[in-house]
Amino acid sequence: MDLSAHETTACSRPDLTLKDFKSGVEPIWCAGCGDFGVLQSLQRALAANGRPPHEVALVSGIGCSSRLPAYTSAYGFHGVHGRALPVATGLKLARPELEVVVVGGDGDGYSIGGNHFMHACRRNVNLTYIVMDNRVYGMTKGQPSPTTEPDWDSDIAPGGVGVSPFSPVAIALAAGANFVARGFALDVKPLAEILVAAMKHPGFSFVEVLSPCITFRPEQMEWKKAIERNALRPTSDRKAAMAAVLGANEMMSGIIFAGDRPAYAETLPTAEGLAEIENEFILDPAA
Amino acid sequence: MRDSISIVFAGSGGAGAITAGSAFLQAAARAGYYGLMTKLSGAQVRGGEAAALVEIGVAPLDAQPDRYDVLIALDWDNVGKFAPELPMDAASIVLADPAAGKPAEAIVATGARMVDFPLSKLAADVKGRGNMVALGAAAALAGFDASAVEQSIRALIGAKGEAAIVSSLVAIAAGAAAARGIESDIALKPGHPGRRWFGSGNEAIGLGALRGGVRFVAAYPITPATEITEWLAPRMKAVGGRAMLAEDEIAAINMAVGASFGGAPSLTVTSGPGLSLKVETIGLAISAEIPLVIVDVMRVGPSTGIPTKSDQGDLDLALYGTHGDAPRIVLAPMSIADCALTTERAVHLAEALQTPVFVLSDQSLGQTQTIIDEPTERAEPMARVMASDRTGADFRRYQPTPDNVSPMPAPGAEGRQWVAEGLSHDEFGHPSNAARFHVAGLNKRRDKLEAFDYGDIWGEVSGEGDTVVIAFGSSVGPVKEAARRLRDSGVAIRVVGLRLLAPIPKKQIAAAIAGARRVIVVEQNHTGQLYRHLLGAKALPQEAESLARPGPAPFRPGEIAAHIV
């Protein structure tokens, strides 16, 4: 049996709505968490994308936002901290016809999972990766992440970590992601549109979502006013995209880059069988 | 006439010692013998000194020899460094080229008979290579038929064209003619030409994986396991599967877990340091009940240890590695042939019981090349239960069943969406902190492994006697050879080769050691990991003994026999 034995015929269902992607599980998120907005945007985007729940798989690691797969009616994988991308890579390569979406937070994706982020961009498997960036480790109650401002005061780093954050979108561009965008969690409809575009785009699509943490970073609720909507315009020129984001205002949302790199290993190899392989081992003086 | 002989080809990098050894081994197969070849190399990445250690016999061989009959030195550059790994004595012969300078002192010190053998002159006279002269000499001493040597050369270098073949054959003939003048007693009894299987343990594991139905492999490069991934990479394509080079060890196992969740029987390959990195994800696969095969080709540890040498010190990690109570299946192949069958069974068990299954191999099994009878024994296929007649709110991924194995639909199955979960979960797979769900999950995962009937997978008993030796993995071969010799000298020995190391097959072990006056557990590690494992589970009597000796030196049958008597 080869991998194609599991293949289902991908079907498009225009009748799907957000409700089809709701599960009965109650989120553990704090009231007012930005991740509610992302959940709603994603469910809306999945409906618009037209693939039924059983042909969708959501893969995540560990953290507040990584709880999302349980709140969606789809196949899901809530794995270990930082390793969502390799799980999704294996799944997508074994089952190319599935819609595979990876979700998680800034600590999960940029810190413990940083190596996988870089290599997922480089490898360009046809996945959509949504990072809900609140610039804090929420589940462990408020530690600075790789995108936290250097002077943000916390118990673990009094007075701030003193280290500048990195730019996830710039890293994604440099590492080869084929689609890069930034959205805002509370802009549900525009974010859903970005997510649909990300899912439809071939190759690895990275969507950085600014998602306020109401509990540990309540000041982020001001992002509502600070966001410059659609300030970023899509380009297929990677250098121009890089120039538009490096050192630029990180409150700008929109699609940054949509490239034309072919996705990695889109089709499954054809099986030929084992007999010839078995014969490689045989030494037969009579033959 | 001898039943078996052992010959070493050694020389500096590029002298062709390994080529000569490989050709000798394959010629032996064509002449109707069985054999083993291990390779030694210096610490250099490329171009250092190398040695091919070849043992040939009229019957299949289980272990490296206690001593070597012949050493053919192509030159003496650094060959002395191998002396501790080349035991020789006064009955051994060293063929040394006078033109290559003074023989290594450590080799001379073994007391072996030094014979002048003008390799380079013989080679120059026929415009051939010294390693082919050495091959001809070895074949003549062993008494091989010239046509067997020619067949092996044609198979090995045929692609280089007829001129290269003829040049080699002329050099081989020159070596053979010169060796006829050497007094020796190493001619073998006649072989029985027939179909033979030629390969290494690493290749056999690859074959077992394909036979078992593995269609996804992900790995990160690591010695001495990488050959498995390299062997599988093109062949995985040929069977309609995929092989992935991951960015690190953790990515590799997570890719395999992801593919398995997607419905593909999946495997990851590593050695000790890589296994240390993978253990968190092994816990995830245990908790979420994801089928997965983990091949660990053990090398000397801890830490980077000795990457190119064999040891059985990863057993503790394979048995217990990961936090929490996390039962898994651990299998260890007992021979190169068994590498194929055990890996095939590992795939079936992983799929049928939805759990990680270890295949504990080691450098010695993995990188030794062997000539054996074709390993045709195949395992009864067992498959993953994917179909469920329940859908929607009725579908429970971890629904209790009599055998504690629940249906595991792959994505694409309508109405059966479920979330694989590393958090403690209820029967639906939903996260829960409740003690009753947590304990039910622990019980389910333990009971599905404990209650399963492993049949003859558990192990093998050979011989009779009230002294019982228990061993696993690559230690079984030398133990069997030691037992054979002891039996020949009138000491009855029973050998228990354990293939299933977890869950411990307590009933089968009890039956296998029934009536024993003495039980000895033999293993190649420092702390007696198997001994502690079995004793802790009360699978052994309190007075059982441990013979635990770490690598890098291989177990030799003589060492084990001496310990027993």
Query: Encoding tokens for residue A7?
Result: 């293949």
- Measured in angstroms, the CA of A114 and the nearest CA of chain B are apart by 11
Task: Enumerate the residues of chain B whose CB falls inside 8 A of the CB of residue A91.
Answer: 258-259, 261-262, 411
Query: Encoding tokens for residue B229?
Result: 């991934």
pLDDT bucket at A13, cuts 50 / 70 / 90: confident
Handedness of CA B371, B374, B380, B382 (dihedral sign): positive
Cβ contact A79–B215 (<8 Å): no
Q: Using CA atoms, how far apart are residues A11 and A31, in angstroms rounded to an integer?
A: 36
Closest B-chain CA to A28: B431
pLDDT bucket at B236, cuts 50 / 70 / 90: very high
Q: Are B315 and B454 within 8 A, CB to CB? A: no
- B342-386 pLDDT, tens digit per residue, is 999 999 999 999 999 999 999 999 999 999 999 988 988 899 999
Query: Encoding tokens for residue B275?
Result: 């296994």
- pLDDT score at A268: 81
- In the predicted structure, residue B266 carries a pLDDT above the cut 70: yes
- pLDDT score at A1: 59
What average pLDDT does the segment B440-460 reach? 98
Q: Using CA atoms, how far apart are residues B37 and B32, in angstroms rounded to an integer?
A: 16
Residue count of chain B:
565
Task: Enumerate the residues of chain B whose CB falls inside 8 A of the CB of residue A121.
Answer: none
From the list A75, A1, A25, A18, the residue with the least C-alpha distance to A196 is A18
Residues in contact with B340: Cβ distance below 8 Å, sequence separation at least 6, in sequence order: B204, B205, B207, B208, B211, B375
Is the CB of A53 inside 8 Å of chain B's CB atoms?
A: yes
Maximum distance among all Cα pairs of chain B, rounded to whole angstroms: 85
Is the CB of A216 inside 8 Å of chain B's CB atoms?
A: no
| Nearest neighbour of B199 by CB, restricted to A55, A83, A281 | A281
| Nearest neighbour of A90 by CB, restricted to B238, B254, B414 | B254
Let me know how many helices (H) and strands (E) chain B has, helices first. 18, 21
From the list B459, B465, B559, the residue with the least C-alpha distance to B518 is B465
Q: Using CA atoms, how far apart are residues B255 and A85, in angstroms rounded to an integer?
A: 8
If you average pLDDT over every residue of chain B, what do you get? 96
From the list B468, B446, B470, the residue with the least C-alpha distance to B534 is B470
Is the CB of B238 inside 8 Å of chain A's CB atoms?
A: yes
Closest A-chain CA to B245: A123
Is the CB of B280 inside 8 Å of chain A's CB atoms?
A: yes
What average pLDDT does the segment B525-541 reach? 98
Is the CB of A93 inside 8 Å of chain B's CB atoms?
A: yes
Residues forming a β-bridge with B51: B10, B40
Q: Is B339 helix (H, G, I), strand (E, B) or coil?
A: helix
Is the CB of B420 inside 8 Å of chain A's CB atoms?
A: yes
Q: Are A220 and A134 within 8 A, CB to CB? A: yes
pLDDT bucket at B79, cuts 50 / 70 / 90: confident
Maximum distance among all Cα pairs of chain A, rounded to whole angstroms: 83
β strands within B58-209, DSSP E: 70-73, 93-96, 113-116, 196-200
- A56-99 pLDDT, tens digit per residue, is 999 999 999 999 999 999 999 999 999 999 999 999 999 999 99
| Nearest neighbour of A116 by CB, restricted to B251, B412, B430 | B251
Q: Which residues of B126-141 are buried (b: 16+ CB within 10 A; e: fewer)?
A: bebbbbbbbbbbbbbb
Q: Are B370 and B38 within 8 A, CB to CB? A: no
Q: Please spell the DSSP secondary structure of B494-540, one letter per residue.
A: EEEEE-EEES--HHHHHHHTTT-SEEEEEESSSS-HHHHHHHHTT-S
Is the CB of A106 inside 8 Å of chain B's CB atoms?
A: no
pLDDT bucket at A48, cuts 50 / 70 / 90: very high
Q: Using CA atoms, how far apart are residues B6 and B154, in angstroms rounded to an integer?
A: 24
Cβ contact B431–A59 (<8 Å): no
- B506-530 pLDDT, tens digit per residue, is 999 999 999 999 999 999 999 999 9
Q: Which of A71, A72, A78 to mutate to test the interface with B (most CBs of B within 10 A)?
A: A78
| Nearest neighbour of A78 by CB, restricted to B250, B417, B420 | B420
